Amino acid sequence: MCFFPLFRSKENRLTMGLPNASGDLSTEVEVDAFRRLFPLRFYEKHLLESIRPDARPLGRARETTIALALAKIGSTTMLAAIKMEVMTPSLETPDEGCIAIDFHMPPICSPIVRPGRPAEGAPVVAKQLSDTILSSGMINLKELSLVSGKAAWMAYLDIYCLDADGALFDTALLSAVAAFSHLEIPVVSLNDDGKIVLSEEQGLSDREPVNKEKRKINLSSVPFSLTCVLHKNYILADPTAEEESIMDTIVTVVLDSSSQLVSLHKPGGTVLAYTSAIQDCIALTRQRVKELQKILEEGISGMEVD
């Protein structure tokens, strides 16, 4: 797989004229410097006009693409991969496999991550991903069983953030869903030592495989999410990293493909959201789910044509 089509050059950011700054500073410094010094004033000037510095209306998400298990929302980029290994199922659930989910923010993805130190916020996203994927019912763990009580799949799902520019959870979840939709499970057999091995490589093609019918995982009720930031009475969908850092109240809504609520996450923040604001976030997410479903379907069918 090659990822280059997704690494397009930086978007041309449309900026409005310089907002009127206080005092003499506005004439002295460039627009980006003003934005750096007075970020909130810079944003509020834009919000009054119902437009964001990247020329988006408040409720619109950034351009979103999926190629294999690489998801991109704006410049936020996530790469997911699943490695299937074999385990002995636990006594309580002899007919179930397991999914282990890990989220990584390597130092390449952001100026605030340094080698050797876990990225701030990464464990929160990891926990949210794990909770969402396992509780959404997207994957029936029984489908991961190979030999009852003896062997089952352990699916290691690793998600890497390659470029962090806000809405990390949304992009990570999208890449995880894409990775599961592309997952192809190899045909395996039980060898003489009681181990599960690849049928072809071990010359066991004549032996009855243990997972003849289970080469793909059925995804039911796929979860999709939208993160919004709240500031005063404004709701900004799909925030950039800058927007997340300036306006600290974040609401993440996860809905499944039939628009049922999977989870709602509002980790504090200075804005106390009224129910109407929460309802608006859910409405925005409902629209977004339709967009994401289409993008995901196109991503899958596009790959099958190749």
Partner 1 sequence: MEEADEMVTPGEVLGKATDLKAGKGAYAASHNNTIYASLTGFRRIQAPPPASNDKRPTVEVTGHKAHGPVPEPGSVVIARVTKVMARTASADIMCVGPKSVREKFTGIIRQQDVRATEIDKVDMHLSFRPGDIVRAVVLSLGDARAYYLSTAKNELGVVSAESSAGATMVPISWTEMQCPLTGQIELRKVAKVVN
Partner 2 sequence: MAAKPGSAPVTYSPNLGQKTRPPIFKDNDLDWVRPDGRGFHQCRPAFFRTGAVNSASGSAYAELGSTKVIVSVFGPRESKKAMMYSDTGRLNCNVSYTTFATPVRGQGSDHKEFSSMLLKALEGAIMLETFPKTTVDVFALVLESGGSDLPVVISCASLALADAGIMMYDLVAAVSVSCLGKNLVIDPVLEEESYQDGSLMLTCMPSRYEVTQLTFTGEWSTPDINEAMQLCLDACSKLGKVMRTCLKEAASASQE
Is the four-CA dihedral 255, 269, 115, 117 of positive or negative sign?
negative
In whole angstroms, how close is the CB of 126 to partner 2 at the nearest point?
7
28 binds, among partner 2, partner 1, none (CB under 5 to 8 A by kind): partner 1
Q: Of 221, 238, 240, whose CA–CA distance to 293 is shortest?
A: 221
SS3 197: strand
The 3 state secondary structure assigned to 209-271 is CCCCCCCCCCCCCCEEEEEEEEECCEEEECCCHHHHHHCCEEEEEEEECCCCEEEEECCCCCC
Q: For partner 2, give the closer residue by CB, 79 or 295.
A: 79
101 binds partner 2 (CB under 8 A): yes
Q: For partner 1, give the closer residue by CB, 22 or 275.
A: 22
22 binds partner 1 (CB under 8 A): yes
Other C-beta atoms closer than 10 Å to the C-beta of 243 total 21
Q: Give Cα 235 distance to the centre of its chain.
A: 20
87 binds, among partner 1, partner 2, none (CB under 5 to 8 A by kind): partner 2
Q: Binding string, 6-25, against partner 2, x = CB under 8 A?
A: -x-xx---------------
Please give the residues from 27 up to 56 whose contact with partner 1 meets the rule CB under 8 A: 28-30, 32-33, 35-37
165 binds, among partner 2, partner 1, none (CB under 5 to 8 A by kind): partner 2
Q: For partner 1, give the closer residue by CB, 33 or 283.
A: 33
Q: What are phi and psi of 147, to 5 degrees?
A: -130, 115
176 binds partner 2 (CB under 8 A): no
Alpha-carbon separation of residue 112 from 64, 73, 164, 296 (angstroms)? 24, 20, 10, 31
23 binds, among partner 1, partner 2, none (CB under 5 to 8 A by kind): partner 1
100 binds partner 2 (CB under 8 A): yes
Helix (H) or strand (E) holding 288: helix 275-305
Strand 151-163 versus strand 70-73 pairing type? unpaired
263 binds partner 2 (CB under 8 A): no
33 binds partner 2 (CB under 8 A): no
Report yes or no: 142 and 161 within 8 Å, Cβ to Cβ: no
What are 21's two structure tokens? Answer: 């700054």
Q: Of 7, 128, 132, 130, whose CA–CA distance to 65 is shortest?
A: 7
What are 134's two structure tokens? Answer: 């396992």
Contacts with partner 1: how many residues (CB under 8 A)? 13
216 binds partner 1 (CB under 8 A): no
124 binds partner 2 (CB under 8 A): no
Q: For partner 2, give the closer residue by CB, 69 or 284.
A: 69
23 binds partner 1 (CB under 8 A): yes
Q: What residue ranges bind partner 2 (CB under 8 A)? A: 2-4, 7, 9-10, 75, 77, 79, 81, 83-88, 90, 93, 98-102, 104, 106-111, 115, 126, 130, 134, 141, 154, 156, 158, 160, 162-165, 186, 188, 195-198, 201-202, 241
Residues that bind partner 1 (CB under 8 A): 22-25, 28-30, 32-33, 35-37, 111
